[in-house]
Structure 1
Amino acid sequence: MTQLFRGMDQAALRAAYDNVAAVADVAERMLGFQERSAALYAALPCRRDVAYGPRPRQRFDWFPCERPDAPIFVFIHGGYWQARSKEDFAFVASGPLGRGFNVVLAEYTLAPDASMTQIVDEVDALLAVLAANRDGLGTRGPVCLAGHSAGGQLSAHYRTHESVVHAMPISALVDLEPIAMSWLNEKLQLTQMEIDAYSPMRHIGKGVPMTVSVGTAELPELVRHSEEYVAACRQAGEQVEFVPLAGCNHFTILEDLARADGVQMEALVSGMGRK
């Protein structure tokens, strides 16, 4: 078969990026995530489905902490830009809430209903709404923009946004070229412009400090994305803390994020100069 990316053909690319196939208990774990998320919604004050645009999925959930001037942890879920929802991963809000953050769980339109350009623009629209505080949410605090997997790419892309003071890409996909060459592109239909414009690895410029995390038990390609991104940022003189989580895979890394005393939250509050 034809070699497409770093010596990989289509079969090898699928194996390199199929996070679901790589984790034997993913179905049970996702069910657990959904159950824990439903329990969190039931237990804590939350404004659900606040609109930041006209499309059905242009909405977010707001979990307030006790201080209106607290920092804001914005979380963008993964799913290769074409699957999952904020409701699947709401349980992760427990971690930042326990460290004094307000939490925003962001939703966005999925491919093929939206192109990569449209998805990227939706995150910009979300940040604009939060900054404008048009719904009286009390969003005066600094914003940490976090995201997992596909959400990690969106987080890293907006590390230069005027509203963001810290970025936290988790298991992030920072190079879209292998995505465009794989089965994942059937719905995304990435253009060369989008690959160039929205691959954070190709835009290592001056931006806010970052906390970059990845599980050591993730697929090697996912680990490579984070390691090479951190190395490039450091070479450019950017402030970035690398947090490899021993033994975590692409899904269990979120269980650590959901802990107020987890490795990632400890690194984040330290990186933001908070206690």
Structure 2
Amino acid sequence: MNLYREMDKARLDAAYNNSAAVADSAVIVAGWQERSERLRTTRASLLDLRYGDAERNRIDCFEVGPGAPWLVFIHGGYWQMRAKENFSFLAAGPLAHGISVAFVGYTLAPEKRLDGIVAEIAAALDCLARRVGPVYLSGWSAGAHLTAMAMGHPAVKGGLAISGIFDLEPMRLCYVNDKLRLDEAEAIRNSPVALPAPGKPLVVAYGGGELPELQRQSVSYFEALQSQQPGRHALLRLDGHNHFSILEELASPAGALTHAAQRLMGVH
């Protein structure tokens, strides 16, 4: 039975299974953890800043110094796995250019529904706004979705959404929903592609080696943004990168995503 874009359940599950599509994804993620632990030891200025009462309502800060611009990063994992601590290694790229970085944690599904996760990101941004002022926002995979959802927050000046999910209808119909538990109404109100375009610049980035559905999500979202606000937003395709390797372009001071963040933030 066709569920979505002429795919049955098995094909739809495979179309969004990034871990299965990248043979060494588990090794890559383990490497992220090791690199993150090293950077947290040497460069973190404040770990586990609380912004709410839930266990994961914490922020890790890597501060360059007073007056530096801030990039806030939201981790991925289909809203149901991974943690901010797995992604600290990404701070290396922005830090090299005088950009402070904050990593936001949030409650995972099924403990919290997506509406609640989106609300937690807003609360984290409230906290950071009080502490450091305006910020730029970024995220990967599910974190890119949460970035797009949070673009309307008054503290956010612009965004960089990497390898994201912007239409949640296929999430509702595939294996991801076993824990996410989206119903149709929740999927619609949390789908950036169905919402008004943000009045701030958003860079939508994806890898040319990602699963076709992941690539389509980014391109379709950018087209929706362009139809509402021509010329305000940007689409960045990084050939040769899969869903996991693309993050090396932010971890590296010379990476394409680091340069995209610099352009977005006006940092040279």
> Which interval holds the TM-score relative to the shorter structure?
over 0.9
Three-state SS of the structure 2 residue aligned to 1:3 is coil
CA deviation after TM superposition for structure 1 residue 34, in Å: 0.6
Q: How does 1:77-88 map to 2 (within 5 A)?
A: 77-88=75-86
Q: What is the 5 A alignment of 1:102-251?
A: 102-133=100-131, 139-140=132-133, 142-238=134-230, 239-251=232-244
Matched position secondary structure for 1:24: coil
- TM-superposition CA deviations, 1:62-96 (whole Å, max 9, x none): 11003x22211110000000000111111011111
| 2:31 aligned residue | 32
Deviation, structure 1 residue 255: 1.0
User: Is 2:254 aligned against 1:255?
Assistant: no
CA distance in structure 2 between the aligned counterparts of 1:206 and 1:187, rounded to whole angstroms: 29
Q: Deviations over 1:220-254 (max 9, x none)?
A: 00000111111111121251121111100000011
Is this contact kept in 2: 1:201–1:229, CA < 8 A? Answer: yes
SS at match of 2:199: coil
How far apart are residue 102 of structure 1 and its match?
Answer: 1.2
CA–CA distance in 2 between the matches of 1:23 and 1:48? Answer: 31
2: CA distance between counterparts of 1:14 and 1:115?
21
Corresponding residue for residue 270 of structure 1 = 263
**Equivalent position of 2:49 in the other structure:** 50
How far off its partner does 1:27 sit? Answer: 1.4
Aligned length: 267
Q: How does 1:62-77 map to 2 (within 5 A)?
A: 62-66=61-65, 68-77=66-75
Q: Can you list the C-alpha shifts for 1:24-45, whole angstroms capped at 9, x where unaligned?
A: 1111111111110011011113
Distance 2:98 2:119 in 1: 29
Identity %: 43
Residue 206 of structure 1: how far off its partner (Å): 3.9
- Matched residue of 1:89: which SS? helix
Cα offsets for 1:170-196 (capped at 9, x unmatched): 001000000000111011111222111
Letter matched to residue 257 of structure 1: L
Tell me the distance in 2 between the aligned counterparts of 1:202 and 1:5: 17
> 260-269 vs 4-13, which deviates more?
260-269
Give, in whole Å, the separation in 2 of the partners of 1:212 and 1:99.
Answer: 21
**SS of match in other structure, 1:93:** helix
SS in 2 for 1:61: strand
Show structure 1 runs of 4+ deviating over 3 A: none
Normalization by structure 1: what TM-score? 0.94
Contact between 2:44 and 2:60, CA under 8 Å: does it hold in 1?
A: no
Instruction: Tell me the amino acid that sits aligned with residue 225 of structure 2.
Output: C
Q: Which moved more, 1:229-238 or 1:242-251?
A: 229-238
Cα shift at 1:15: 0.9
Letter in 1 for 2:246: I
Question: Matched residue of 2:260: which SS?
Answer: helix
- The SS at the match of 1:48 is strand
Residue 90 of structure 2 corresponds to residue 101 of structure 1: no
Partner of 1:18: 17
Kindly indicate whether the alpha-carbon contact (under 8 Å) linking 1:241 and 1:271 is maintained by their aligned counterparts in 2.
no
Task: Give 2:212's aligned amino acid.
Answer: P
Q: Runs of 5+ in structure 2 lacking a partner?
A: none
Provide the rounded CA distance (Å) in 1 between the counterparts of 2:87 and 2:264: 24
